[in-house]
Each structure stands twice: as C-alpha cells, then as structure tokens.
Chain A
C-alpha cells in the first residue's frame, strides 16, 4: 500500500496551496457566487458542500482556470492567471467522460500521451497503478465493459496521472449507487491517506464531505457564500461504517445540515 500514486515532482507538494479571496461571479443577470474566501493548505483535503445548483461546479471551474472570474483573486500553487492554474490543477468532472474507443489503461494514461509520452511508456506508467486501484486484469477493457465504480476509478487515475499538484474533484461519486459510493469513499480515503494530495472536493453529500475531508466548507444556496466551516479531527478513518455512525460524526452532520438549511434563501 505504500506505492506512491503521485506522478508530480516532490517540490510540487510544498507549493500546492489554493488561495481564493473575494471571489464573485455571475452569468449575465444570474449571480452565482456572492463572495467566497477559501484556503487549502498543502496536503489538505477540503470539501465543499452546498445545495444543488448553488455554483459548486462553477467555483471549481473558476479555480481550475477554465473561465476567468469577474471579481476576486485565485492562486493555485503560485499560478494566478487562468492558463497558469489550468497547468497546476487536475480536474475530475462529475461524469467519468472516458473515451469509449480507448482501453482502460489508455484512458488512464491520456494525460501522459498528450504530453508526448510514447504509447508503451504511458501504458506502463498508468498500468502500474491498476493493481492498487482494484483494476488489475482490466487494462485492455473498454469503458463500456466496466462497472460504474471501475469507470470512476479509471477516471480518477486519469486525473492523477496528469501529475498536477492540486486535485479538483467535482462530485466524483454522485452517479454511483449508495453501496458503491460508500466503497469508493473508503477507497479514496485509503488513496488520499498516505499520499497527502492537496484536494478540493465538491459534493452535495454531507456524509461524504465529513468523512473524506480535513475541513468542510458549507455553501449557501445561490449566490453562494461560505455559510459554515467545520474542522474534522480525524478524517478518513479506516473503518468507514464505524466512523460515520459515531456520535461525534452525527453531531457534525447535524451542524452541517443545519448550516445548509440556514443557508437557504
């Protein structure tokens, strides 16, 4: 379990800070983000929960540099311009968006191929992680032959193989059934534990946020602002079932849900 998943150079970790201040954004008349300040320390997992349609995805897209914000500044690992941020973030969208004509291993190694790595090299480097991700034996399988959970893991590996200092995960497990989602959360906790990735995780699942993150930001409904910040004492416990049914967890969950309700306007 000690194989390192990170593909980036070690110094990328030290500078992998996300800082957002005074961020506001709207689409024409529609105000999506009111004012958001947030900071993610190197190696920290920060989860953002909010009601559906509150602008969570927009927030990630702004941070990733996919669109320029109207107001405020965003810095990712020292990159402040949108193109600079795009180079420093690996963004995993809600849908797995695997390419149906590529095998699992070729999908996972897509970023390496784009960077000019040979096909054989990319397959070797991406394939080296298949065992640990529970994908061993499925290297040559096309996405339509994989289960939803496996597709999501291939998509996660594809994001990881981009070798960027910051991971942006946009509701990565939203499309999965409850049991698979719980399995995937345990699995992700295991992956994030030893490797200390800097992660910004967006979800509408309070339990997922409280279980996986070091810190949870609760957003209000649109236009979004931070309604609450919750620090988690011991995140990503190995025994997920025990962790999420503990009294402390229940207390945090109640607080988060209350903040969500109060954040509705």
Chain B
C-alpha cells in the first residue's frame, strides 16, 4: 500500500497533464493560440494511434537507435574505466590530460556530429563514436573522483598488511569507486540517447532521431511525438536497468571508505 502511494502522486500529475493536453488539442486551443493549422498539434490519443499504426516502422527505428546507444555506451564504459585508472595511477598523466578531458566536454555534440559523418560516412561507426564521446566524460570523471576519494588510512592499512600497488587498486580503490562509477554511468546512459538523436540528425537512413526529421518534414506531427515518446521511454528503461544493476552490485554502505 505504501509502495503504491509512492507512485500515486507522479502518476496523477502525468495523467492530469495528458488530460489537459488532450482537451486543449481536441478543442484546438493550442493551434488557435499559436495561429497554426490544427492538425499540427496532435492530441495524446493521436500519438497513441500513431504508435500503434506505425509500430513496425517505429520498431525498426527503435532497434537501430537502441543498438547505437548500447554500443556507444559500452565503448564509453570500457574506455572511461581504463582512462580513469590510468589517470589515477599517474599524477603526471592526470595533470596532463585532465584539462583536455574537461575541454572535450565543452564542445557541443551537435557541432562535431557533422564532422564525424564527413569523416566516417553514414554507417554505424560515427554514431557509436559520438555517443561514446558524450558518455565518456561522466564515466571517467566520476570514476576518477571515486578512486581519488578513498580514505588514505585504508591505503596505509593495506600497505601494513603487505599489499602491493596493484592489490590496493583492485581490493580497495576499485570497489570503493564503484558507487561513483555508477553515478557517472547513470548520467551517461541518459545522455547517450540524446547523443544518438544528434548523430542521426547529422546523417542517417534510419533510427528514431532520423524518423523525427522525416516525420517533421512531412508534417506528420503525431508520428514525430511517437518517436520522441519511444526515445524517452528507451532512456528511462535503460536508466532503470543501470540503477537495478547498481543496487545488485553495491550492497554496502560506502561512507566508511571515502574521505568525506
């Protein structure tokens, strides 16, 4: 009962908003206010109809986008983890690369997406690369922070027990950095979907981002919203999956091992 109550408020808010939108669209309130044709403002029921009618088209596009997102995300996880460990182990490399790492994040993915398309063509490669680029930063920075926040007394304790550098890394630093790693991972999976849309907008023949472009140029607004709904659901489900894995893996209270 308590659990059900927890979801009651957000579900009610969503239902009220959808209801208001439905009525506003049905009575042409929005299109009149914006002074546009009324078919350009689909009601939630129109979007639902499009989701069902265009299901095979949207399913194909969803699969394409999901594959890009997962590949890019997993590449970023692996690279981010390795990069974080390397920067953690070498003060010199950290000082050399950290500003570059931050600078890389200031370049908007929209700006580099066309360049990647020009260089690597219209295939899967440039999409995976762009998604990996936007995911890389949160994973690397969070993991590095986690590795560096280990209580120095724990490291001293490990040394007195005879641990070498590798053992300190694998037995203390990496486990205690796991919650940080997962924080970065959750941010990464959410931005991965956004990255996929940018990548597809820069040049693609399929995918949900591509479908949004096509549908909007054909003024198929209901289908556009249907694709947006699927993108959003994809991000939410992937985020929930990562959160679930985190709960399964990080079963301890990490407060005892970090400095703050």
A binds B: yes
Chain B residue with Cβ nearest A95:
B153
Residues of B within 8 A of A91 (CB): 157, 160
A74 an interface residue at 8 Å Cβ cutoff?
no
Residues of A within 8 A of B108 (CB): none
B237 an interface residue at 8 Å Cβ cutoff?
no
Chain A residue with Cβ nearest B250:
A101
- C-alpha gap A66/B160 in the complex (Å): 8
B240 an interface residue at 8 Å Cβ cutoff?
no
Instruction: Choose the segment among B56-64, B85-93, B187-195, B251-259 that binds chain A (4+ C-beta atoms closer than 8 Å).
Output: B251-259
- C-alpha gap A101/B154 in the complex (Å): 14
B104 an interface residue at 8 Å Cβ cutoff?
no
Chain A residue with Cβ nearest B167:
A114
Residues of A within 8 A of B160 (CB): 64, 66, 86, 89-91, 162
Residues of B within 8 A of A100 (CB): 252-254, 256-257
Chain A residue with Cβ nearest B168:
A114
B5 an interface residue at 8 Å Cβ cutoff?
no
- C-alpha gap A90/B161 in the complex (Å): 7
A interface bracket (residues with beta carbon within 8 Å of B):
20 to 34
A110 an interface residue at 8 Å Cβ cutoff?
yes
Residues of A within 8 A of B162 (CB): 86-87, 111, 114-115, 162
Residues of B within 8 A of A110 (CB): 161, 171
A250 an interface residue at 8 Å Cβ cutoff?
no
B15 an interface residue at 8 Å Cβ cutoff?
no
Q: How far is the CB of A252 from chain B (nearest CB, A)?
A: 32
- C-alpha gap A115/B158 in the complex (Å): 12
Residues of A within 8 A of B167 (CB): 114
Q: Which of A64, A66, A86, A144 contacts B253 (CB 8 A)?
A: A144
Chain A 41-98 interface residues, beta-carbon cutoff 8 Å to B: 64, 66, 86-87, 89-91, 93, 95, 97-98
Whether the Cβ atoms of A66 and B156 lie closer than 8 Å is yes
Q: Which of B157, B163, B172, B175 contacts A93 (CB 8 A)?
A: B157
- C-alpha gap A87/B159 in the complex (Å): 10
Whether the Cβ atoms of A101 and B153 lie closer than 8 Å is no
Chain B residue with Cβ nearest A144:
B253
- C-alpha gap A114/B151 in the complex (Å): 19
A99 an interface residue at 8 Å Cβ cutoff?
yes
A158 an interface residue at 8 Å Cβ cutoff?
yes
Whether the Cβ atoms of A97 and B154 lie closer than 8 Å is yes
A142 an interface residue at 8 Å Cβ cutoff?
yes
Q: How far is the CB of A113 from chain B (nearest CB, A)?
A: 8
**Per-residue contact bits, chain A 137-165, to B (CB 8 Å; 1 contact, 0 not):** 00000111000000000000010001000
Given A93-B153, A114-B167, A101:B161 Cβ within 8 A:
no
- C-alpha gap A258/B88 in the complex (Å): 50
Whether the Cβ atoms of B161 and A162 lie closer than 8 Å is yes
Residues of B within 8 A of A87 (CB): 162
Q: Which of A64, A86, A101 contacts B251 (CB 8 A)?
A: A101
**Per-residue contact bits, chain B 228-260, to A (CB 8 Å; 1 contact, 0 not):** 000000000000000000000001111011000
**Per-residue contact bits, chain B 209-230, to A (CB 8 Å; 1 contact, 0 not):** 0000000000000000000000
Whether the Cβ atoms of B163 and A114 lie closer than 8 Å is yes
Given A95-B153, A100-B256, A101-B251, A158:B172 Cβ within 8 A:
no
Chain A residue with Cβ nearest B151:
A97
Whether the Cβ atoms of A97 and B157 lie closer than 8 Å is yes
Residues of B within 8 A of A111 (CB): 161-162
Whether the Cβ atoms of B159 and A86 lie closer than 8 Å is yes
Residues of B within 8 A of A113 (CB): 171
Whether the Cβ atoms of B159 and A66 lie closer than 8 Å is yes
- C-alpha gap A115/B167 in the complex (Å): 10
Residues of B within 8 A of A64 (CB): 160
Chain A residue with Cβ nearest B156:
A66
Whether the Cβ atoms of A114 and B257 lie closer than 8 Å is no
Chain A CB within 10 A, most for which of B151, B153, B159, B256: B256
Other than the given A100-B254, A115-B162, 17 more pairs (CB < 8 A) read A87-B162, A90-B160, A90-B161, A91-B157, A93-B156, A97-B153, A97-B256, A98-B256, A99-B154, A99-B172, A99-B175, A100-B257, A101-B175, A114-B161, A142-B252, A144-B253, A162-B162
B: residues with CB less than 8 A from A are 151, 153-154, 156-163, 167, 171-172, 175, 251-254, 256-257
Q: Give me 30 A-to-B residue pairs in the complex whose CB atoms sit less than 8 angstroms apart, sorted by A's number.
A: A64-B160, A66-B159, A86-B162, A87-B162, A89-B160, A90-B160, A91-B160, A93-B153, A93-B156, A93-B157, A95-B153, A97-B151, A98-B256, A99-B154, A99-B257, A100-B253, A100-B257, A101-B251, A111-B161, A114-B158, A114-B161, A114-B162, A114-B163, A114-B167, A115-B162, A143-B256, A144-B253, A144-B256, A162-B161, A162-B162
